[in-house]
């Protein structure tokens, strides 16, 4: 069955990014309890790139304001997801786990001393973070393959991050290198070519054949862990189950494809309401190395803190569990 493509990138001038970034930063700066506001990363591909912002609040400050829901459609196109929010103490602690880099102060006061320090995160933590991202990518690919809907912009955004993980993992994930480079080339030339949706469909078919094999091989070689208190659910309709082999299963049904063009991403969310997925993953939950225990404790603490103090902000936590 042929794939349909939704979430098509819309060219957006870089000046619009800066204008909206300043507007949202000014709005956040007016809130009580804000220590600093940082942009994460940059704008490498206008029209495809999104904006990431982290708001650092005073410790134990409660903020009930839902900034993302107040954004216009134009603003939400650039701010795809909720803003990140954290306490001052958690922000400083996060540098131990290399979640984000390239912070640029855009509001409040500078609280980073000589930039975010590299605490020399253990290789196990860095590998764990890379594998968490790769597993999340596998989940996303599987949903898109099941629904036969390719989310173009989402894939192009994830491809940039995937390139860092493949590079870090080196020879272990080398079989993905050429395909990741192809995706980055599609991204680079998206607005100059008329054949991008066809190329993306061909790319998707190619990577989905080998991606599970490579991911399982890397997991077995490097070792992958999940917290023993992990709830097994990473979304309302997606569960992770411990297993000897990497596999996925699905229950539900597809609606007729014709609404895709009318509903766009809403169609994808509708499908999620009527489909459930179970991913069997060869992870370990016992004898967790001490450096990973610290990492898991930080993630858990961040999620709990944000539920109580910053409910409308993403925690500085793993992309797999956020």
Question: What are the residue ranges spanned by the domains of the chain?
Answer: 14-120+304-309, 122-224+231-284
Asked if 190 and 45 touch (Cβ cutoff 8 Å), the reply is: yes
The pLDDT assigned to 253 comes to 84
User: CA torsion sign, 227 to 297 to 220 to 170?
Assistant: positive
Asked if 281 and 212 touch (Cβ cutoff 8 Å), the reply is: no
CATH 3.40.720 fits 14-120+304-309, yes or no: no
- Beta-carbon neighbour count of residue 190 at 10 Å? 21
Consecutive 10-residue runs of the chain (322 residues): their mean pLDDT? 87 94 94 95 92 96 92 92 94 82 90 60 84 95 94 92 91 94 95 89 96 96 86 88 95 74 72 93 92 91 94 86 62
User: CA torsion sign, 211 to 214 to 217 to 218?
Assistant: negative
The pLDDT assigned to 304 comes to 93
Residue 99: both structure tokens together = 């979640």
The pLDDT assigned to 237 comes to 93
The pLDDT assigned to 257 comes to 62
- Beta-carbon neighbour count of residue 236 at 10 Å? 9
- Beta-carbon neighbour count of residue 46 at 10 Å? 16
The pLDDT assigned to 161 comes to 87
The pLDDT assigned to 120 comes to 46
The pLDDT assigned to 263 comes to 64
299 exposure class (CB count in 10 Å sphere: 0-12, 13-18, 19+): buried
User: Does this model's pTM top 0.85?
Assistant: yes
User: CA torsion sign, 66 to 67 to 68 to 74?
Assistant: positive
Closest CA to 133 of 45, 204, 224, 203: 224
The DSSP call for residue 56 is E
Rounded to 5°, the CA angle 228-233-236 comes to: 160
Cite the beta strand spans of the chain per DSSP E: 4-6, 34-40, 52-57, 84-87, 103-108, 149-151, 233-235, 238-242, 247-252, 275-281
Asked if 151 and 197 touch (Cβ cutoff 8 Å), the reply is: no
């Amino acid at each position: 069955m042929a794939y349909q493509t939704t979430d098509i990138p819309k060219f957006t001038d870089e000046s619009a990014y800066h204008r909206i970034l300043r507007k949202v930063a000014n709005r956040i700066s007016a809130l009580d309890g804000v220590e600093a506001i940082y942009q994460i990363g940059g704008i490498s591909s206008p029209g495809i790139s999104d904006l990431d912002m982290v708001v650092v609040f005073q410790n134990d400050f409660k903020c009930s304001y839902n900034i993302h829901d107040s954004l216009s459609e134009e603003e939400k196109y650039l701010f795809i997801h909720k803003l990140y929010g954290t306490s001052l103490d958690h922000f400083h602690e996060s540098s131990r786990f290399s979640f984000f880099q390239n912070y640029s102060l855009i509001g409040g006061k500078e609280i980073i001393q000589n930039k975010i320090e590299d605490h020399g995160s253990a290789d196990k933590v860095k590998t764990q973070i890379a594998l968490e991202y790769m597993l999340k990518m596998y989940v996303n690919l599987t949903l898109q393959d099941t629904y036969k809907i390719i989310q173009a912009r989402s894939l192009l955004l994830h491809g940039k991050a995937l390139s860092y993980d493949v590079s870090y993992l080196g020879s272990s994930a080398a079989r993905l290198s050429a395909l990741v480079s192809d995706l980055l080339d599609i991204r680079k030339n998206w607005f100059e070519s008329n054949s991008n949706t066809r190329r993306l469909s061909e790319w998707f078919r190619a990577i989905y054949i080998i991606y599970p094999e490579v991911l399982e091989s890397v997991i077995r070689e490097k070792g992958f862990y999940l917290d023993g208190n992990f709830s097994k659910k990473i979304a309302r309709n997606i569960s992770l189950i411990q297993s000897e082999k990497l596999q996925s299963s699905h229950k539900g049904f597809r609606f007729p494809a014709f609404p895709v063009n009318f509903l766009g991403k809403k169609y994808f969310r509708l499908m999620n309401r009527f489909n459930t997925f179970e991913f069997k993953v060869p992870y370990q939950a016992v004898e967790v190395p001490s450096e990973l225990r610290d990492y898991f404790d930080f993630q858990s603490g961040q999620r709990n803190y944000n539920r109580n103090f910053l409910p409308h902000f993403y925690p500085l936590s793993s992309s797999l569990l956020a």
